[in-house]
Amino acid sequence: MNEFGIQSYTSLFLVFSIGLAFLFSLGEIFSSPRGEKQNLLAFIFFLVGIFLTHAFLLTCKMIIHFPGLYLTHLPISGLMGPFIERYLLLAMGNTPESKKIFYLKMIPALAIFLWMAPFYFSGGPEKIELLKSLQTTGLPLFLKIPVLSTMGVMFAFLLSTFFRLFWGFRFSVIYKDPRMLTILGVSICILIILLYGSISVFFGSIRGLEGVGSLIGIFLCALYILRQGFPEFFLEVQRVVEEEKKYRASQLGGLDLEDIKQNLEDLFQKEKVFLKEDLTLGFLAGKLEISTHQLSEYLNNEIGKNFFQLLNEYRVEEAKKKIESDPAEVLLSIAYSSGFGSKSAFNEVFRKETGFTPSEYRNKIRKNKSK
């Protein structure tokens, strides 16, 4: 396929992407319920639409008929950084900075506009001459600086957002959850897109903007499919983020939970520590080399039982095995050998766990064996 054919397909795809971006923007404006997230997303899609419009005009070389629009996308692109950062933080359940700090983050976009102001207000003929010479000379330094600065600002904001979203996340959480993998993959792709565009511009190519525009268009299509196919996507992601926040705020941070799980199973199933009548939470925590608070939190959050519930469960299972193997054995003897300290405690816990008293359970076993 020749260069003209590639440019034609690129231009058509950019037109489609422009329509999609502005359609998304309108959709968010009229969505219900309204909120800051919807407002941010509507504005982000609007900015993307302007960016893609400029990319289209440059790709199909129509920009020469609208020289006043050349590079007007730069300060607009600079605004994308803080808006995308704030939206993603809100969408994933994080608390963004105050509005004052948010506005301060728009200063780089303002600085880019001030740098470009003399160029924007220069005459049309000068811009047309510059546009005609771009194919052979590339961007002059005074324009290359703001273009690279814009991409650098976007890269910095997205990288910052990326780290704020994923810093401290357990790898196992990201690896096992397809939604988190999707967010991670999209983040990396956007960073690669910006890196590609920056390198292209740095080495004098004007194709960087075309490539970035096309890749953003592909990203918009993927986002549309995601939003239509999985409307609850960000709500699920927010749930995962909230759970991870609770984990990081807990006393279990930095502990190997799988190791604790395995050691706990060994203590109960192999060593049968539950047979120790005076077994305490502190003794068990010492065996696991963690604090009593950490063990208590682990049992409640990871197993869903407190210390006494877990202890009684194992003791009752042990008593059931003894009754089943020798129904004639004295129940009080079974109670003591299973870790219970009294007959009353044995009867109460056994009935709570099984729905039968020890005597009723033994009669049931005898009837089954006599059949």
- Domains of the chain, residue spans: 3-248, 257-370
Q: Which range scores top for mean pLDDT: 74-78, 193-197, 238-242? A: 74-78
Statement: residue 212 has pLDDT above 70: no
As a whole number, mean pLDDT of residues 152-163 equals 80
**Collapsing DSSP states into helix, strand and coil, what is residue 7?**
helix
Tokens of 227: 């939003």
Q: What is the pTM of this model?
A: 0.59
Statement: residue 314 has pLDDT above 80: yes
Specify whether the CB–CB gap between 191 and 155 falls below 8 A: yes
35 CB-near residues (< 8 Å, 6+ apart): none
Model pLDDT, residue 318: 93
Q: Which range scores top for mean pLDDT: 100-104, 164-168, 189-193, 247-251? A: 100-104
As a whole number, mean pLDDT of residues 89-94 equals 72
Model pLDDT, residue 189: 75
What single-letter DSSP state applies at residue 276? Answer: -
Supply the mean pLDDT for the chain. 80
CA distance 106 to 371: 83
Model pLDDT, residue 93: 66
pLDDT tens-digit map of 50-85: 888 888 887 787 888 888 888 888 888 888 888 888
Model pLDDT, residue 180: 73
What single-letter DSSP state applies at residue 299? Answer: I
99 or 7, greater pLDDT: 99
197 CB-near residues (< 8 Å, 6+ apart): 151, 208, 209, 211, 212
Model pLDDT, residue 112: 92
Statement: residue 206 has pLDDT above 60: no
Statement: residue 235 has pLDDT above 60: yes
Statement: residue 21 has pLDDT above 60: yes
Annotation: CATH topology of 257-370: Arc Repressor Mutant, subunit A (1.10.10)
**Collapsing DSSP states into helix, strand and coil, what is residue 53?**
helix
Reported confidence tier of residue 210, pLDDT bands at 50, 70, 90: low
CB atoms under 10 Å from CB of 154, counted, come to 25
As a whole number, mean pLDDT of residues 87-106 equals 81
Statement: residue 4 has pLDDT above 80: no
Model pLDDT, residue 158: 78
Question: What does CATH list as the number for 3-248?
Answer: 1.20.1070
CA distance 99 to 160: 18
As a whole number, mean pLDDT of residues 337-347 equals 89
Model pLDDT, residue 1: 46
Statement: residue 247 has pLDDT above 60: yes
Specify whether the CB–CB gap between 158 and 85 falls below 8 A: yes
**Collapsing DSSP states into helix, strand and coil, what is residue 114?**
helix
Model pLDDT, residue 7: 61
